[in-house]
Amino acid sequence: MPKVIGVPFITYAAEPDDADLLANIYVTSTHDSRKALGHSNPDGLRRSFLQSFNPAQTFKLVRGCKTIGFYTLLEQLDHVERGQLWLLPEEQGEDVGTAAIKQALSFILKRAEPEDIEQLADLRDEAMKDEWAANGLTDYALARRHFFEDYKPEATWKIEQDGELLGFAAIHEYDEFIHLDMIYLLPAAQGQGIGSQILQNLKEHAQQVGKPIRLGALRISNSNRFYKSHGFHFTHNVDFNNYYEYAPQVPSERASGRLEQAKAEDFDLLADLRQHAMKDNMEANGLFDHALYRQYFKNSFDPASTWKITENEEVLGFYVLWNKPDHLYLERLYFLPKAQGRGIGAEVLTHLKQQATQQNKPIKLEVLPKSRANAFYQHNGFTLLEEREDENVYEWKLSQLTDTCGDFAVDAADKSDFNLLADIRQEAMQEEWAANGMFDHSAYGREFEKTFDPAFTRKITLQGKTVGFYVLWERDDHLYLERLYIQVNVQSRGIGSGVLTYLKKYAEEQRKSITLETFPESWVNDFYLRNGFRLIKASSNEKRYDFVPASVEAPA
């Protein structure tokens, strides 16, 4: 089964209610080519599409909650092949077509039917039986009854490949939040990136509609680490379940104004502003059909990805930012002439750079070749990647934006940091506590409060945000590393190894060894061994490690 990595959308099986939406995409995507041939008849194209529309052979590409294109399957005598791919104009390009093939080879989502309940219940039993047993939940008949009681096919999506059921997900959207009720995959389908791809698209949906995602996971379950690695934060636990939330970006204040998310009724205002801002640049590049470009803007207008730049309640400009899996795409940034030259554009770019830094992603954009914006972006640190006939491609990224980013700082802690550090500790440790049979989180919190000493505690910060901490006690003959915790969403980026390198250098300077203890059943045992620590003692309760620098004579 091909892995799905970096595909910026999900493929859904089309439904009868999709007819009008897909007809609009079909007409829009073929407008230019048909107009060039003198065959532009939007109404006729629409009627033709609706007459031939077959949902069973149509598949739509969805980014978040926005459908960006679709393709059809063609039945041949001895096989079925993919037909033409139609995309919104702003999505067109070879990379999307390649990604569509890659996605379709891996899986599609298809809405469940009432009669699917038995098959889905069987799959759930198969996927969950080991974790239910680990949590002491052995009344499988009761669990199955609960599933039958809660089953809602309209909110359930089957995960299929070539007609074979791989798993399913249940997602409920309410006025205030999105509830990811369940996502199950057969063991053979796990580890292929399917769950991550579905979750990434759901996060994009949450960003577009401005709602958090909430979910629950069994206390002893690999899914805890999975959700935390995708930016979900632990909120509380009840009985056998841990609960998490993912919060999308919210509007931001700026020194000279405010960024406000656009609404559907803002279209005419923003279209007029865009035309006013771009008229000279467009005509300098030979683009004179302003009505056509306004229509293009209307077809792609997505309020959830559009931000107005206001001052004293007046809209001075706006930008459109798409959150792709591996970069942020700044599709548009426009200002009224009277707002230009005041540094507001540079302020907006600073805000977007901060957002990109937090997500560890570069920013990419395109500019017309004959445009003053080329100098503006270059002046603000963007690099010209490619010069095309009709556009220049730019990128901004920090030099430290890599998968093994070690660009952290170590800061002194104080008493006011206790609650923050206690939360980081609980988030980092709850899975290992559960694996070692330790469930009294309140008691562990009280113990931490009793022993908390800011003088020996150091915060680990990344771009000014506290992402972890360690406690290092200075003994007469050694250093004792009592705690080292890193937030789950920044693990696997080399920060922990970077902290240990920092501490080992300090140990070398002090001519002292470092000692520490871990749980017997803990993934950090491998972590410390990989980073030069040696196991010196093991018991049923703990493992003890040390690191002896070259400046210290190792004991015989």
Residue 487: which region, alpha, beta or left (left: phi > 0; alpha: psi -120 to 50)?
A: beta
Cα-based distances in Å from 59 to 70, 108, 160, 372, 427: 5, 9, 13, 41, 40
Distance CA 459, CA 468 (A): 6
Name the residue among 299, 298, 305, 301 with its Cα closest to residue 209: 305
347 vs 156: CA distance, rounded Å: 43
Single out the residue of 31, 51, 52 nearest to residue 41, CA to CA: 31
* Dist CA 409 CA 296 (whole Å): 46
Other CB atoms within 10 A of residue 384 CB: 13
The identity of residue 317, as a single letter, is G
Q: What is the spatial distance between Cα 54 and Cα 468, in angstroms, rounded to a whole number?
A: 53
What would you report as the CA-atom Rg of the chain, rounded to the nearest whole angstrom?
Answer: 27
Angle of CA points 118, 122, 123, to nearest 5°: 120
Grouping H, G, I as helix, E, B as strand and the rest as coil, residue 468 is: strand
Cα dihedral 504→509→513→515 (10° resolution): -50
Spatial CB neighbours of 226, under 8 Å, sequence gap ≥ 6: 195
pTM: 0.50
Q: Which residues pair with 323 in a beta bridge?
A: 328
pLDDT by residue, tens only, the chain of 556 residues: 444 444 568 899 999 999 989 998 888 887 665 665 566 677 888 888 899 899 998 999 998 888 888 988 776 555 556 677 888 877 776 566 666 666 666 789 999 999 999 999 999 999 998 888 888 888 889 889 989 998 999 999 999 988 899 999 999 998 888 999 999 999 888 888 888 889 988 988 888 888 899 999 998 888 888 888 777 888 887 778 888 888 876 555 444 457 888 888 888 899 999 888 877 666 666 665 667 778 878 877 888 888 999 988 889 999 999 887 678 899 889 888 888 777 788 888 888 887 777 666 889 999 988 787 888 888 777 888 888 888 899 998 764 333 333 467 888 888 888 889 988 888 888 777 766 666 566 777 788 888 888 888 899 988 778 889 999 988 878 899 998 999 877 776 778 888 898 898 888 878 899 999 998 878 788 888 888 899 999 988 889 999 998 877 544 4
Cβ 178 vs Cβ 212: under 8 Å: yes
